[in-house]
C-alpha cells in the first residue's frame, strides 16, 4: 500500500527493484535522497514473510534483526557504529542483531568513506530509520490490543502494554507492521539521548570473530569459481607507456594463461599503461613477471626528482611566492619594528599510504555485465571510471564491497578497480588482480611533500605580531595548463593562524610534477598542523613564554572566528566558522589532564602540546617524551582530547581511531619518506620504507572526549594532525633540539 | 610437483612449483585465506603461521621445504569445538583490530609467545612482537590483549 508521497528524486526503477525482491508482499523502503534526507516510500513484507521496513532493516518472523551497513569498512569501525545507531532507536538488543555489508546501490545514497563524513552524513538519518521502524511495530501492537500506541513501550525487541500486562515480540508483529502506513521520517519521535542503552557503550567490532579466525573478509580473500590470477606491470616512472614486451616468452612460462599489453591512459588516477599476466595462481603470475621484459617510454617525468624540486624551492624562497593566498596588514613593516624576529624552514617528503592489504580487486566480465568485488573506500567513482574507460553502461556494472585492509584515503582512488576491469574485459573468466608491495609503493597516490619558509615576530610583550609563510607545494597541470596542488597540498587562506594575526602573509608556489597524488588521512591538516604548531612553539620560546598560555592568547577571547567569504561568483557559500570556544575547551582540558605547567621534568624529558581543527573535529594533544643521551626517543604518554559533538557512538571504535592516529602520526614523523628520483619511487618495499614497530609505540595513550551540544561527527582523521607537533614540541622541551624535517630519524637528537 | 602437507591437522596434497611460498599454497591452492600477504619479503609478518610450533613467515617458506612439518594457520588456532584460543578471545574482548589485516599474524606470534612465556612483561611482548607490523597502529591494544590472554591461559598450553 502506498502511504507516503514518493519524493520526485527517488528513482522509480530502484523502487520497483526493491519490491520485486519481496516474495509476493509489499516492501517498505526508505531511500536517502540527494539531500541526505530519509524518505518513506512503500511498505511490504520482505523475503520469507519478514518485515523489511527499509533498505537498512529487516526483521524476520522469528525475531531476527538484520541491519545493512552501507558504508565501506576500512578499519574505521563504521560497520559497527552506524548499525548501532539504528539498533538504539529500534530498541533491540545488540546481541540479536546481524550486520550485513551492502553492495553498491543507489538506494543507499552515498557510499563513500572519505573525509570522516560517514558519521556526520548518516547519523541523523539512521536515528530516524530505526525510530520509524520501531514506531510501526508499536502501532502494530497497539492495534492488536486495541490500546493507544502512546501507552506502549519497547525494550529488547518487545512491545509492552504495562497497564494490561501484555507484551509481544517484534517477530510476532512483523506481519501486521508490514501493512501499516509509514510514519513521516522527519517527524518520527526519537528517544531522548539520556535513555540510550547502546550508543555510548564500548562495542567490539562486528567482524572481529571473523578477523581473529582468519575467515574470508578482505578484497584479497575473494575467490570466485573458475577464477584466474593476474598481475599488472606498470612503468616504474609514473604513467610511462609500453613500447614493447616479450609477451611470447612470458606466455610460454609455467602456469601462464595469457599476457597482453594494455595501452591505458595518461590519467594519473585512472588506467595506467602496462602489461597484464594471467596465470593459474598468484605465484605463477608473480614468477612469470620476473621474466617479463618491457621497453618503456618513460616520458618527461623521468627528468623530475624530489631533490631537484627542493633545490629550486630553496632558490626561489627569497623571492615572493607565485600566489598570495592571504595578506592581512603589513608583515614587512611589522618585522622592522618587532622585538624579536625568527625564521625557520620546515620540510616534509612525499609519503605513501601503505595499507597493509596491497591494492587488489576481482572482476568478471560476464555476458555484458561487469561484476566487481572491490576493497574500495569510494566504489561509485570506480564504477564511473570503469564505465567511461571501457564504455560499459553504469547499470551493467555491479560492485560488491569487501572489507579493506586499511584505507587512509588510498582506496578513494579507483585505479586498481579500472585495472582489473580492463584486464577482465579481455579474459574469459573471473580475474583477481593482486598488486605486490612493490607495485603498491611505486604506484601509490602519494601524499605530497612540502616546504615552508617561515618568518614570525613577537613584540616587546611577547605577543605575536607578524607571520609569513612562503609555501612550496606539488601538483599537476590541469587541462587548461593551470597547475593545481595535489590533494592536501593546498594551504587554505583561512588556515590557522590566518585570521588571528594582524600582519599575516601566506604565499604558495606549486611545482608541476607529473606525479600521482591523492588524499592521505586528514589531507593537508596532517602536515600543516606540524609546521604551524612547531613554529608557534618556536615563537613562544623566543618570547620566553609558556606554550599553552601563548597559544591561548593567540586564540583570543572571541568564541567564533568567521570564515573568509568566498570571492564573488565562487560556487557555494562561506565555510563554517572556526569555533574558538570548542578549541579552547579541548586545549585547556588536555593541559589539565597532563598537569601542564605543574609537572617538572628532568633533562631529557619534556612535554609538548598542539591543537588542530579538521574534518569537523576539535582536537588538542599533549605528548610526554624521553630522549636518551644517545638520542633515542621514547614517547611516554600522549593525552588526546577531542570534541566531535554530542555523542561518541562507540567509544571503543573512537578510541581505536585516536590510538591509531597517534601511532600513525608518530610513524610518519619518525620514519616515512619516499625517495623519488627520475620520476619514480626508488624505495619500494618495507625494508626500504620502514614503519613504526611495537617497541616504538607510545607507552601510554589517554583518549578523552569532550561532549558538546553539536552534531555528531567522525573520528577517522581529526585526531592525527596534532600528534607530530605535540611530540616535536616535547622533544624540544626535553633536549632543546627542534625537528624541522620529516622524517625525524634524520635529526640528531643526542644531548649531553 | 606433488607435496603432501599437514595443515591444521589435516593432510592436503597439492601440485605446485617447488619454489612456491607456503603462503600462496595456503591462499590460492588450498583456499585458507586467513594467512595474509603484506610484503612477500619477510618484513611485515602478516603471513605468520606455526611451523612445528614456531612462528614462521609463510611468504619465505618454500613449499618444498615444509615436508612433514606440522603447519598451523590462524584457521587452525581455535579448538575443534570452535572455542577460541585465549589470544583470539582477548582480541575480540578488547576490540584490538582496526582493519584487521595484520591480526592473523599478530595472533599467531602472540600465541607462541604465551605458550613459551605465560606471563610476559612489556619488554618481552615488544621483543616477541617486534617483527609484526600493524599499519593501523593497534600496538597498544596488542600489548593489552596479550596480557589479558595471559590471564586467561594462566599457564595453560597454547598450540603446539
Ligand atoms: S608477507 Fe610475509 S612477512 Fe610480509
Ligand atoms: S589492524 Fe590494520 S594493519 Fe593492523
pLDDT in tens, B57-74: 999 999 999 999 999 999
Residues 6+ apart with CB under 8 A from A747: A737, A739, A740, A741
Question: Which pairing describes strands A431-434 and A360-366: parallel, antiparallel, or unpaired?
Answer: antiparallel
B48 touches chain A (CB under 8 A): no
Across A168-191, average pLDDT: 85
Query: What is the model's pLDDT at position A355?
Result: 98
The verdict on A146 and A253 lying in the same domain is: no
CA dihedral in degrees (A295, A300, A303, A308; nearest 10)? Answer: -150
Candidate from B45, B51, B129 with most ligand 1 atoms within 8 A of CB, to mutate: B45
CA distance A67 to A55: 9
Residue A318 confidence (pLDDT) above 80:
yes
Instruction: Note whether A287 and A186 are same-domain residues.
Output: no
Helix H segments across A502-630?
525-542, 547-555, 580-593
* All residues at 6 or more sequence positions from A634 whose CB lies less than 8 Å from its CB, including other chains: A625, A626, A627, A628, A696, A699
Q: Of B33, B38, B97, which has the smallest distance from its Cβ to A221's Cβ?
A: B33
Q: What is the mean pLDDT of chain A?
A: 91
User: Is the domain of A233 the same as that of A381?
Assistant: yes
> What's B42's DSSP letter?
S
Return the ∠ at Cα A136 (arms to A135 and A140), rounded to 5°.
Answer: 120
pLDDT band at A569 (very low <50, low <70, confident <90, very high): confident
Residues A492 and A610 in one domain: yes
Task: Answer whether A215's CB lies under 8 Å from A207's CB.
Answer: no
Residues of chain A above pLDDT 90, percent: 82
pLDDT at A5 over 70: no
Q: Which of A4-13, A186-195, A598-607, B76-85 has the lowest mean pLDDT?
A: A4-13
Read off the CATH number of the domain in which A468 is found: 3.30.365.10
Residue ranges covered by each domain of chain B: 2-76, 86-149
- Verify that A432 and A388 share a domain, yes or no: yes
Mean pLDDT for A419-445 is: 98
| Fold of the domain built from segment(s) B86-149 | DNA polymerase; domain 1 (1.10.150)
pLDDT at A51: 62
Using the predicted structure, report yes or no on whether residue A505 has a pLDDT greater than 90: yes
| Strand ranges (E), chain B | 2-7, 10-15, 48-51, 54-57, 70-72
* pLDDT for res A729: 98
The finding on whether B61 has its CB within 6 A of some atom of ligand 2 is: no
Cα–Cα distances (Å) from A590 to A238, A697, A705, in that order, read 44, 20, 10
Query: What's residue A183's pLDDT?
Result: 80
Superfamily, domain B2-76: Beta-grasp domain (3.10.20.30)
Reported as half-sphere exposure (CB side, CA atoms, 13 A), residue B50 has a value of 25
Alpha helices in A331-452 (DSSP H): 331-337, 379-390, 415-424, 437-442
Q: How far apart are CA A421 and CA A734, in angstroms?
A: 54
For the segment A285-298, the average pLDDT, to the nearest whole number, is: 98
Q: Each residue of A13-61: pLDDT tens digit?
A: 232 223 323 332 223 344 443 333 434 444 444 555 666 666 788 888 8
Domain-located, residue A7 = no
Nearest neighbour of B140 by CB, restricted to A287, A406, A659: A659
Q: Is the CB of B59 under 6 A from ligand 1?
A: yes
Tell me the sheet residues that pair with A279. A229, A256
Residue A751 lies in a domain: no
Instruction: Tell me the percentage of chain A whose pLDDT exceeds 70.
Output: 93
**Mean pLDDT to the nearest integer, A88-112:** 90
> How far from A405 is each of A116, A360, B139, CA to CA, in Å?
17, 10, 16
Can you tell me the distance from the alpha carbon of B57 to that of B105, in angstroms, rounded to the nearest whole number? Answer: 9
Q: What are A242's three cell numbers?
A: 609500453
Whole-number Å distance between alpha carbons of A626 and A603: 9
Give the number of the atom of ligand 2 that is nearest the alpha carbon of residue B98.
1
Residue A373 with chain B: CB contacts under 8 Å: none
Among the candidates A387, A413, A442, a domain finishes at A442
Domain count, chain A: 3
B99, A404: Cβ pair inside 8 Å?
A: yes
| Residue B98 contacts A, CB cutoff 8 Å | yes
Closest ligand 1 atom number to CA of residue B58: 2
ipTM over 0.85: yes
Mean pLDDT, range B27-45, rounded to an integer: 98
Residue tagged 569487501 (cell numbers): A402
Contact B99 A405 (CB under 8 A): yes
Claim to verify: residue A480 and residue A343 sit in the same structural domain? yes
Q: CA-to-CA distance for A125 and A127, rounded, in angstroms?
A: 5
Residue A643 counted as domain residue: yes
Distances (CA, A) of A241 to A301, A304, A436, A499: 12, 17, 20, 47
Q: Are residues A344 and A362 in the same domain?
A: no
Q: What is the pLDDT of residue A117?
A: 84
Contacts of B137 in chain A (CB under 8 A): 659-664, 667, 692, 697
User: How many residues appear in chain A?
Assistant: 752
Q: Is A367 left (phi over 0), alpha (psi -120 to 50) or beta?
A: left
Q: For B17-60, where are the E strands, in sequence order?
A: 48-51, 54-57
Considering the domain boundaries, does residue A742 fall inside one? Answer: yes
Task: Let me know whether A410 and A525 are in one domain.
Answer: no
Cβ contact, residue pair B29, A281, below 8 Å: yes
Q: How many CB pairs under 8 A join A and B?
A: 194
Mean pLDDT of A298-316: 98
Q: B74 CB under 6 A from ligand 1? A: no
**Per-residue pLDDT, B157:** 45
Which of A442, A475, A504 represents a domain boundary (last residue)?
A442
**Which of A414, A442, A470 finishes a domain?**
A442
Instruction: Note whether B24 contacts A281, CB cutoff 8 Å.
Output: yes
Average pLDDT on B119-127 reads: 97
How many whole angstroms from A254 Cα to the centroid of ligand 1?
24
pLDDT (0 to 100) of residue B153: 67
Residues A433 and A455 occupy one common structural domain: no
Ramachandran angles phi, psi of A312, nearest 5°: -65, -45
- Structural domain range at position A729: 306-350+446-560+577-746
Q: Do A207 and B28 touch (CB under 8 A)?
A: no
Q: Name the pLDDT band for A164 (thresholds 50, 70, 90).
A: very high
* pLDDT tens readout for residues A699-719: 999 999 999 999 999 999 999
Residues A43 and A179 in one domain: yes
Lowest mean pLDDT among A53-62, A101-110, A290-299: A53-62
Between A76 and A56, name the one with better pLDDT. Answer: A76
User: Cβ(B98) to ligand 2 under 6 A?
Assistant: yes
- pLDDT band of B148, cuts 50, 70, 90: very high
Q: Do the chains contact at B137 and A215, CB–CB below 8 Å?
A: no
Is B137 in CB contact (< 8 Å) with chain A? yes
Residue A195 has pLDDT above 70, yes or no: yes
C-alpha–C-alpha distance, residues A304 and A494, integer Å: 31
- Are residue A245 and residue A99 in the same domain, yes or no? no
Q: Is residue A570 included in any domain, yes or no?
A: no
B62 touches chain A (CB under 8 A): no
Q: In chain A, what residues touch B91 (CB-CB under 8 Å)?
A: 208, 211-212
User: Is the CB of A356 less than 8 angstroms away from the CB of B36?
Assistant: yes
Q: How far apart are CA A589 and CA A583, in angstroms?
A: 10
Distance CA B135, CA A111 (A): 24
Do A458 and A477 belong to one domain?
yes
CB-CB neighbors (< 8 A) of A686 in chain B: 38-39, 41, 43-44, 133
Degrees (nearest 5) of the Cα angle A635, A672, A311? Answer: 120
Amino acid at each position: 500500500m502506498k502511504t507516503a508521497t514518493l519524493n520526485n528524486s527517488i528513482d522509480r526503477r530502484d523502487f520497483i527493484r526493491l519490491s520485486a525482491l519481496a516474495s509476493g508482499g509489499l516492501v517498505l523502503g526508505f531511500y536517502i535522497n540527494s539531500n541526505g534526507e530519509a524518505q518513506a516510500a512503500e511498505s511490504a513484507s520482505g523475503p520469507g514473510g519478514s518485515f523489511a521496513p527499509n533498505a537498512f532493516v529487516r526483521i524476520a518472523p522469528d525475531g531476527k534483526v538484520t541491519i545493512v551497513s552501507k558504508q565501506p569498512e576500512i578499519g574505521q569501525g563504521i560497520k559497527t557504529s552506524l548499525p548501532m545507531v539504528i539498533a538504539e532507536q529500534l530498541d533491540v538488543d545488540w546481541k540479536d542483531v546481524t550486520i550485513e555489508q551492502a553492495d553498491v546501490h543507489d538506494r543507499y545514497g552515498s557510499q563513500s568513506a572519505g573525509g570522516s563524513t560517514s558519521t556526520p552524513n548518516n547519523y541523523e538519518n539512521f536515528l530516524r530509520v530505526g525510530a520509524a521502524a520501531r514506531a510501526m511495530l508499536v502501532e502494530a501492537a497497539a492495534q492488536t490490543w486495541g490500546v493507544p500506541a502512546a501507552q506502549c513501550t519497547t525494550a529488547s525487541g518487545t512491545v509492552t502494554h504495562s497497564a494490561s500486562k501484555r507484551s509481544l515480540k517484534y517477530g510476532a508483529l512483523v506481519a501486521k507492521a508490514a501493512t501499516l502506513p509509514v510514519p513521516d521520517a522527519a517527524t518520527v519521535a526519537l528517544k531522548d539521548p539520556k535513555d540510550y542503552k547502546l550508543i555510548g557503550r564500548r562495542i567490539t567490532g562486528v567482524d572481529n570473530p571473523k578477523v581473529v579466525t582468519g575467515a574470508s573478509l578482505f578484497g584479497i580473500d575473494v575467490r570466485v569459481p573458475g577464477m584466474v590470477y593476474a598481475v599488472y606491470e606498470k612503468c616504474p616512472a609514473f604513467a610511462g607507456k609500453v613500447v614493447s614486451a616479450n609477451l611470447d616468452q612470458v606466455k610460454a612460462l609455467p602456469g601462464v594463461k595469457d599476457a597482453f599489453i594494455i595501452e591505458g591512459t595518461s590519467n594519473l588516477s585512472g588506467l595506467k599503461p602496462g602489461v597484464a599476466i594471467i596465470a593459474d595462481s598468484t605465484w605463477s603470475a608473480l614468477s612469470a613477471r620476473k621474466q617479463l621484459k618491457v621497453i618503456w617510454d618513460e616520458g618527461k617525468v623521468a627528468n623530475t626528482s624530489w631533490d631537484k624540486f627542493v633545490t629550486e624551492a630553496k632558490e626561489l624562497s627569497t623571492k615572493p611566492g607565485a600566489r598570495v593566498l592571504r595578506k592581512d596588514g603589513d608583515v614587512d613593516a611589522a618585522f622592522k619594528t618587532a622585538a624579536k624576529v625568527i625564521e625557520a624552514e620546515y620540510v616534509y617528503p612525499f609519503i605513501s599510504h601503505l595499507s597493509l592489504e596491497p591494492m587488489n580487486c576481482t572482476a568478471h566480465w560476464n555476458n555484458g555485465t561487469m561484476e566487481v568485488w572491490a576493497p574500495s573506500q569510494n566504489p561509485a567513482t570506480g564504477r564511473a571510471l570503469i564505465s567511461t574507460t571501457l564504455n560499459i553502461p553504469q547499470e551493467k556494472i555491479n560492485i560488491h564491497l569487501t572489507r579493506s585492509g586499511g584505507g587512509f584515503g588510498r582506496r578513494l582512488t579507483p585505479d586498481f578497480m579500472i585495472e582489473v576491469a580492463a584486464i577482465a574485459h579481455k579474459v574469459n573468466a573471473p580475474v583477481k588482480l593482486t598488486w605486490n608491495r612493490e607495485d603498491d609503493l611505486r604506484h601509490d597516490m602519494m601524499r605530497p611533500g612540502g616546504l615552508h619558509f617561515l618568518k614570525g615576530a613577537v613584540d616587546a610583550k611577547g605577543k605575536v605580531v607578524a607571520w609569513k609563510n612562503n609555501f612550496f607545494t606539488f601538483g599537476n597541470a590541469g587541462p587548461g595548463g593551470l597547475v593545481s596542488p595535489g590533494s592536501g597540498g593546498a594551504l587554505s587562506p583561512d588556515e590557522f593562524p590566518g585570521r588571528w594575526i594582524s600582519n599575516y602573509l601566506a604565499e604558495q608556489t606549486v611545482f608541476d610534477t607529473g606525479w600521482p597524488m591523492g588524499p592521505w588521512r586528514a589531507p593537508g591538516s596532517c602536515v600543516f598542523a606540524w609546521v604551524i604548531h612547531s613554529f608557534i612553539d618556536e615563537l613562544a620560546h623566543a618570547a620566553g613564554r609558556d606554550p599553552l598560555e601563548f597559544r591561548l592568547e593567540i586564540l583570543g577571547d572571541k568564541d567564533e572566528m568567521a570564515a573568509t567569504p568566498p570571492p564573488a561568483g565562487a560556487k557555494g557559500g562561506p565555510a563554517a566558522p572556526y569555533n574558538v570556544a570548542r578549541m579552547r575547551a579541548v586545549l585547556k582540558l588536555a593541559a589539565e589532564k597532563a598537569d601542564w605547567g605543574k609537572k617538572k621534568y628532568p633533562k631529557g624529558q619534556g612535554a609538548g602540546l598542539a591543537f588542530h581543527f579538521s574534518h569537523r573535529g576539535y582536537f588538542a594533544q599533549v605528548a610526554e617524551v624521553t630522549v636518551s643521551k644517545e638520542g633515542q626517543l621514547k614517547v611516554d604518554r600522549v593525552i588526546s582530547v577531542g570534541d566531535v559533538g554530542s555523542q561518541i557512538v562507540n567509544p571503543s571504535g573512537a578510541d581505536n581511531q585516536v590510538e591509531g592516529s597517534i601511532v600513525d602520526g608518530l610513524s610518519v614523523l619518525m620514519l616515512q619518506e619516499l625517495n623519488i628520483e627520475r620520476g619514480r619511487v626508488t624505495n619500494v618495499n618495507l625494508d626500504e620504507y620502514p614503519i613504526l614497530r611495537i617497541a616504538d609505540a607510545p607507552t601510554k595513550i589517554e583518549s578523552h572526549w569532550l561532549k558538546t551540544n553539536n552534531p555528531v561527527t567522525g573520528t577517522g582523521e581529526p585526531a592525527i594532525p596534532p600528534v607530530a607537533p605535540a611530540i616535536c614540541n616535547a622533544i624540544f622541551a626535553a633536549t632543546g633540539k627542534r625537528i624541522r624535517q620529516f622524517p625525524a630519524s634524520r635529526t640528531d637528537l643526542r644531548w649531553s | 610437483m606433488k607435496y603432501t602437507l599437514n595443515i591444521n591437522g589435516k593432510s592436503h596434497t597439492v601440485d605446485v612449483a617447488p619454489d612456491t611460498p607456503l603462503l600462496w599454497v595456503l591462499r590460492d591452492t588450498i583456499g585458507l585465506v586467513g594467512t595474509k600477504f603484506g610484503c612477500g619479503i619477510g618484513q611485515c609478518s602478516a603471513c605468520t603461521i606455526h611451523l612445528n610450533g614456531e612462528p614462521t613467515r609463510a611468504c619465505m617458506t618454500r613449499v618444498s621445504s615444509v615436508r612433514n612439518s606440522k603447519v598451523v594457520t590462524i584457521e587452525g588456532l581455535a579448538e575443534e569445538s570452535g572455542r577460541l584460543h585465549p589470544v583470539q578471545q582477548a582480541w575480540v574482548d578488547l576490540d584490538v583490530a582496526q582493519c584487521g589485516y595484520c591480526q592473523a599474524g599478530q595472533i599467531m606470534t602472540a600465541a607462541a609467545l604465551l605458550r613459551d612465556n605465560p606471563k610476559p612483561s612489556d619488554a618481552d611482548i615488544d621483543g616477541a612482537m617486534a617483527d609484526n607490523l600493524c599499519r593501523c597502529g593497534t600496538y597498544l591494544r596488542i600489548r593489552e590483549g596479550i596480557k589479558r590472554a595471559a590471564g586467561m591461559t594462566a599457564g595453560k598450553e597454547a598450540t603446539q
